[in-house]
Amino acid sequence: MVADGTEDFAVFEVTVPDGLTLRGRIFGEAVGGTPVVCLAGLTRNGRDFAPLARWLANHPERPLKVVTIDSRGRGASGRDPDPSRYTVPVEAGDVIAVCETLGIARAAFIGTSRGGLILHILAALKPDLLAAVILNDIGPVIEAEGLRHIQSYLGRTVRLSGFAQAAEHLRAVHGSHFPALGDDDWQEMARAIYHDRDGVIEADCDPAIAAAMVAADVSAPLPDLWPQFEAFAALPLMVVRGERSTLLSEETVRQMARRHPALRWSTAHGQGHPPLLHFDGLPQEIHDFLAGSVG
């Protein structure tokens, strides 16, 4: 564990069974109780959760310990020499290995997009690990329209000379889906998604991950995850859907609620896929759900 006195988090490193090194952050390290573990989307990393993690860790009444994980090939974690291992089941195994190494026997989880798919697998593989689950704009049915939109922007090659240009690029691509975001928000998103490599601003993930997504055939009907979703039946469950999401439909969320009557449904207004979780009252909603779920 490494703590930088200039930062408000500790950094951890975990070597998983196949030898790859994963890294992440712990906010509120000294806080007791059930921790909250955050899993990011396909090409994203734990920095997506930093504003929410700080808010939860510094809550005046009930601070929560928050762990953010950079999945393999993303952020500060190692790039896999075998790209075929960039799969949801492998990454679910990584989460189990990280939790075991950090001494986390049970946690509440927040999964954004692919991170939520990992939680569907964990519910079947390691149900005792899950104390509560928040699915951020993901569910058992994935809309092809949303996947095509992801392919469209991952397939673009752009050269960015600075974070200001990166922010403008993100606004040009995603602005119509995220009218709630202002200038500072786009800058913050740019610094979460990209990093500076010798003066070149590039996505902070292994290019092989994006390439596999761009090459995927999304024309055929996608298999659903309703059998895996049933594993959440006994768990406190919350879903956040972006108001303008094309990946998670309202009808899917309604069906999730029918199958899990205690499900808590929240809408991220003015946001698409995936919603940022530190806007529009969402942090307090998330805190209330977590505090009420893990005691």
pTM for this entry: 0.95
Element at 120 (helix H, strand E): helix 114-125
CATH number of the domain encompassing residue 39: 3.40.50.1820
In a domain, 114, yes or no: yes
Direct distance between the N- and C-terminal alpha carbons of the chain, in angstroms, rounded to an integer: 27
289 contacts 238 by C-beta, under 8 angstroms: yes
Domain count of the chain? Answer: 1
In a domain, 164, yes or no: no
Would you give per-residue pLDDT tens digits along the chain (295 residues)?
Answer: 444 445 899 999 999 999 999 999 999 998 989 999 999 999 999 999 999 999 999 999 999 999 999 999 999 999 999 999 999 999 999 999 999 999 999 999 999 999 999 999 999 999 999 999 999 999 999 999 999 999 999 987 788 989 999 999 999 999 999 999 999 999 999 999 999 988 889 999 999 999 999 999 988 878 899 999 999 999 999 999 999 999 999 999 999 999 999 999 999 999 999 999 999 899 999 999 999 998 6
In a domain, 160, yes or no: no
In a domain, 194, yes or no: no
Q: Is 178 exposed, middle or buried (0-12, 13-18, 19+ CB in 10 A)?
A: buried
What is the three-class DSSP state of 285? helix
User: How far apart, in whole angstroms, are the C-alpha atoms of residue 45 and residue 56?
Assistant: 18
In a domain, 181, yes or no: no
In a domain, 59, yes or no: yes
In a domain, 165, yes or no: no
Domain that holds residue 48: 2-144+223-294
127 contacts 105 by C-beta, under 8 angstroms: no
User: How far apart, in whole angstroms, are the C-alpha atoms of residue 156 and residue 6?
Assistant: 36
In a domain, 170, yes or no: no
User: How far apart, in whole angstroms, are the C-alpha atoms of residue 198 and residue 183?
Assistant: 25
